[in-house]
């Protein structure tokens, strides 16, 4: 049976960074028709109701229906250490992250956290994500199995590290290749799941490991590859000491077959001109993680890069301090202000939906409300708290009505979530 969901509807006909807020489509009384897990129609609510009298109707009133939000860089194994106090990147990894990731040697712990993480993400309106696992292959199985049970579109990969990590959290060049390949062959393209080749970052991989993973990517060019790039200045200096032959940080990937169009480079804050040029030239994507960048003191991302390359927006949980992509949009706005560029709410919503889908190269599947796309939806209550409600009373358009929720909203603003045509939160 078809479902018809009614409310305010927001979709995109283009990229607001390129053509401005007019890229958005907004219906005050709109509707989305869903059948067999896919969006069949988007438009005027009353017309859709008249045209599809047999559809089961869910009316969300004045709430705003958007494509489900996507998180393009997250570490699900760091769920339990989110908001850990007082460290910058390298100390934070050693003090909090690595000990926690060690616990994923136990597959039952991995399964428990995978389920907990996906339920938290859904509660915050996130319907798809691209996650790092730990070095343990079973940590990938755990996340994909939990995603399958919920019908979610999930990208993930085994994190590979063969040096500068504690005993028990290191693989080898060969085992990283073998395990990654086996996981890729098992999971990639199965239902809504995609495998992502995942060297953590240059400091924790030998040249041999980077080379092996570059070779695997060469054998499976349709896979994405995710890693970290130029997040903190101390990290950049360490990379230069570890790879004296490299022209810059990006070159440590480039020299080993790990620079390409399907590459997702997390953070990319302290880029040298050659690095930005090369990323733009090959058509790679960089992922902005603003709550992480302020929380662990990394720096201020340059959103000007969006004129030259695909840019995604992500929580980077648990270096990031929130599971919420609303909070993440707010932090992107704040970082933009500190750099002298106020991001428009259309740009923020686009980054969290269609922009992230484009970064993950699935814009023909998710990230927007359009016929033929998978029916992943989030329904936002634009008056979810008294503070937000009073700030929206004088709103004259959808952007003024939405912006207080972007800046002050949390999971209480998420009235309902649909994933693959099924309602997983709210009625």
Q: Site residues (CB under 5 A) for Zn ion?
A: 266, 316
Q: How many CB atoms lie within 10 A of CB 403?
A: 22
Comparing CB distances to ligand GUN, the nearer of 92 and 177 is 92
Residue 94: CB minimum distance to ligand GUN, A: 11
Report how many residues bind ligand GUN under the rule CB under 6 A. Answer: 11
2 Cβ contact list (under 8 Å, min separation 6): 33, 34, 35, 40, 52, 54, 55, 56
Q: Which helix (H) or strand (E) holds 141?
A: helix 137-150
Residue 359: CB minimum distance to ligand GUN, A: 17
Whole-number Å distance between alpha carbons of 18 and 365: 21
Interaction partner, residue 97 (ligand GUN, Zn ion, none; CB < 5-8 Å by kind) = ligand GUN
Residue 180: CB minimum distance to ligand GUN, A: 17
Q: How many CB atoms lie within 10 A of CB 338?
A: 10
Question: Applying CB under 6 A, does 252 fall inside the site for ligand GUN?
Answer: no
What DSSP string runs through 173-210?
A: HHHHHHHHHHHHHHHTTSTTEEEEEEE--GGGS-HHHH
Given 84, 97, 180, 198, the residue binding ligand GUN (CB under 6 A): 97
244 Cβ contact list (under 8 Å, min separation 6): none
Given 291, 292, 324, 405, the residue binding ligand GUN (CB under 6 A): 292
Comparing CB distances to Zn ion, the nearer of 316 and 410 is 316
Q: Which part of the chain contacts ligand GUN (CB under 6 A), choosing from 89-97, 103-111, 119-127, 406-414?
A: 89-97
Q: Is 402 helix (H, G, I), strand (E, B) or coil?
A: helix
Q: How many CB atoms lie within 10 A of CB 58?
A: 20
Whole-number Å distance between alpha carbons of 406 and 330: 6
Residue 290: CB minimum distance to ligand GUN, A: 12
Pairing of β 3-12 and β 24-35: antiparallel
Residue 320: CB minimum distance to Zn ion, A: 8
Whole-number Å distance between alpha carbons of 210 and 250: 12
From the list 148, 155, 131, the residue with the least C-alpha distance to 78 is 131
Given 124, 200, 310, 415, the residue binding ligand GUN (CB under 6 A): 200
Comparing CB distances to ligand GUN, the nearer of 234 and 397 is 234
Whole-number Å distance between alpha carbons of 258 and 160: 13
Given 153, 228, 344, 358, the residue binding ligand GUN (CB under 6 A): 228
- The tokens describing 321, both together, are 């301090």
Residue 207: CB minimum distance to ligand GUN, A: 18
Q: How many CB atoms lie within 10 A of CB 222?
A: 10
Residues numbered 312-341 forming contacts with ligand GUN, rule: CB under 6 A? 316, 319
Question: Applying CB under 6 A, does 201 fall inside the site for ligand GUN?
Answer: yes
Interaction partner, residue 45 (ligand GUN, Zn ion, none; CB < 5-8 Å by kind) = none
- CB of 160 closer than 8 Å to CB of 213: yes
Name the DSSP class of 25.
E
Given 162, 171, 179, 231, the residue binding ligand GUN (CB under 6 A): 231
Strands (E), 123-164: 126-132, 153-157, 159-160
- CB of 71 closer than 8 Å to CB of 79: no
- The tokens describing 216, both together, are 């695997």
Question: Applying CB under 6 A, does 226 fall inside the site for ligand GUN?
Answer: no
Interaction partner, residue 52 (ligand GUN, Zn ion, none; CB < 5-8 Å by kind) = none
Residue 132: CB minimum distance to Zn ion, A: 6
Q: Give the x-and-dash track for 58-77 against ligand GUN (CB under 6 A).
A: -----------------x--
Interaction partner, residue 227 (ligand GUN, Zn ion, none; CB < 5-8 Å by kind) = none
Whole-number Å distance between alpha carbons of 136 and 176: 10
Comparing CB distances to Zn ion, the nearer of 262 and 266 is 266
Residue 80: CB minimum distance to ligand GUN, A: 14
Comparing CB distances to Zn ion, the nearer of 100 and 316 is 316
Comparing CB distances to Zn ion, the nearer of 15 and 100 is 100
Query: Measured at CB, which residue is nearest to ligand GUN?
Result: 319
Residue 334: CB minimum distance to Zn ion, A: 20
Whole-number Å distance between alpha carbons of 100 and 12: 40
Interaction partner, residue 232 (ligand GUN, Zn ion, none; CB < 5-8 Å by kind) = none
Residues that bind ligand GUN (CB under 6 A): 75, 89, 93, 97, 200-201, 228, 231, 292, 316, 319
């Amino acid at each position: 049976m078809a479902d018809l969901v009614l409310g305010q509807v927001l979709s995109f006909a283009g990229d607001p960074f390129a053509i401005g807020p007019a890229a958005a489509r907004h219906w005050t009384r709109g509707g989305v028709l869903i059948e067999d897990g896919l969006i069949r129609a988007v438009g005027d609510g009353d017309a859709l109701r008249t045209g599809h009298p047999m559809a089961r109707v869910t009316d969300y009133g004045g709430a705003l229906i958007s494509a489900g939000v996507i998180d393009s860089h997250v570490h699900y194994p760091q769920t339990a250490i989110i908001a850990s106090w007082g460290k910058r990147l390298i100390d934070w990894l050693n003090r909090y992250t690595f000990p926690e990731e060690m616990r994923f040697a136990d597959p039952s712990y991995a399964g428990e956290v995978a389920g907990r993480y996906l339920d938290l993400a859904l509660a915050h309106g996130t319907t798809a994500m691209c996650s790092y696992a730990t070095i343990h292959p079973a940590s990938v199985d755990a996340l994909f199995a939990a995603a399958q049970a919920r019908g979610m579109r999930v990208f993930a990969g085994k994190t590979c590290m063969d040096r500068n990590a504690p005993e028990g959290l290191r693989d080898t060049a060969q085992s990283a290749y073998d395990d990654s390949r086996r996981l890729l062959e098992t999971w990639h393209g199965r239902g809504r799941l995609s495998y992502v080749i995942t060297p953590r970052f240059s400091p924790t991989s030998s040249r041999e490991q980077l080379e092996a993973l570059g070779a695997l990517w060469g054998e499976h060019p349709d896979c994405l590859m995710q890693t970290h790039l130029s997040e903190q200045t101390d990290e950049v200096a360490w990379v230069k000491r570890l790879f004296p032959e490299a022209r810059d940080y990006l070159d440590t990937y480039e020299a080993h077959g790990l620079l390409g169009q399907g590459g997702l480079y997390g953070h990319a804050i302290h880029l040298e001109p050659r690095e930005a040029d090369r990323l733009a030239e090959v058509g790679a994507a960089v992922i902005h993680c603003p709550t992480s960048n302020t929380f662990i003191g990394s720096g201020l991302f340059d959103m000007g890069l969006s004129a030259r390359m695909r840019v995604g927006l992500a929580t980077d949980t648990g270096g990031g301090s929130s599971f919420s992509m609303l909070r993440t949009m707010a932090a992107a706005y704040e970082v933009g202000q500190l750099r002298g560029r106020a991001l428009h709410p259309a740009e923020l919503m686009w980054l969290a939906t269609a922009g992230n889908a484009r970064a993950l190269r699935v814009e023909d599947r998710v990230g927007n409300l359009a016929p033929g796309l998978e029916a992943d939806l989030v329904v936002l209550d634009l008056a979810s708290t008294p503070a937000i409600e009073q700030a929206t009373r004088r709103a004259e358009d959808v952007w003024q009505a939405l912006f207080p929720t972007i800046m002050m909203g949390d999971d209480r603003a998420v009235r309902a979530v649909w994933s693959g045509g099924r309602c997983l939160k709210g009625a």
